[in-house]
Amino acid sequence: PAEVAQRLQSDPNSIADHFDDVSILFADVVDFTPLAGRLDAREVVGLLDRLFTSFDELVDRYEVEKIKTIGDCYMVAAGVPRPRSDHAQALAALALEMGGCAQSCLPEGAEHDLRLRIGISSGPVVAGVIGRRRFLYDLWGDTVNMASRMESHGTADSIQITRSTWELLRDDFVAEPI
């Protein structure tokens, strides 16, 4: 993030911050490994590039922070490094749009589909920059772990949220218990 880069330029020592109220989102392509095995390398990279570029555009529109990609998984945070009271609402709205991006990223006549599993959790995190050769702004804590679990244990084409996120969203979004 720009704010973090400015801090690093003025003080190249460690950046470590605590945020009490953030939301974390993980989005993963369902069955990507078998799909990638059926495509050639250019098709795999092109598919991920189209998908993640469309996600990047949504991230910019919702003014949230892309943290990183891990293979075919995309991690986003709201409320860091700039606190915002609507962090859960921003990521819920983003998540709803991400599913549409997955379908629009497929080339015409594709013999496969792209389905996402999305997980969101809200709460406190530690944020900081690690490394010296390639700087990485990253997040740690139970909130991050729970968002990852919500994604990995979720079902295709659904957004699974923790109770803490539901408590922030219940007046603005419809949720179904599982």
Rounded to an integer, the average pLDDT of 149-163 is: 95
Query: Is the model more confident about 102 or about 67?
Result: 67
What whole-number percentage of the chain has pLDDT above 90?
Answer: 66
Q: Parallel, antiparallel, or unpaired for β 15-29 and 116-130?
A: antiparallel
Looking at residue 58, its pLDDT comes to 97
Say which range, 62-76, 82-96, 123-137, has the weakest mean pLDDT: 123-137
pTM of the model: 0.91
Looking at residue 127, its pLDDT comes to 94
Looking at residue 140, its pLDDT comes to 97
Rounded to an integer, the average pLDDT of 8-22 is: 81
Q: Any idea which residue has 């400015």 for tokens?
A: 6
Classify 148 in phi/psi space as left (phi over 0), alpha (psi -120 to 50) or beta: alpha
CA-based torsion, 175, 162, 65, 134: positive or negative? negative
Q: Which residues of 140-161 are buried (b: 16+ CB within 10 A; e: fewer)?
A: ebebbebbbebbeebeeebbbb
Element (H, E) at 80: none
Read off the pLDDT of residues 90-144 as tens digits, 9 standing for 90 and up: 999 999 999 888 877 776 666 678 899 999 999 999 999 877 777 788 999 999 9
Rounded to an integer, the average pLDDT of 45-67 is: 95
Give the chain's mean pLDDT.
90
Looking at residue 129, its pLDDT comes to 86
Evaluate if residue 171 carries a pLDDT over 70. Answer: yes
Rounded to an integer, the average pLDDT of 78-84 is: 95
Q: How far is CA 111 from CA 39, 40, 57, 69, 128, in A?
A: 11, 14, 26, 25, 42
Hey, what are 42's tokens? 């250019």
CA-based torsion, 59, 26, 166, 98: positive or negative? positive
Rounded to an integer, the average pLDDT of 46-64 is: 95
Looking at residue 52, its pLDDT comes to 95
Question: Is the distance from CB of 68 to CB of 138 less than 8 angstroms?
Answer: yes
Looking at residue 74, its pLDDT comes to 97
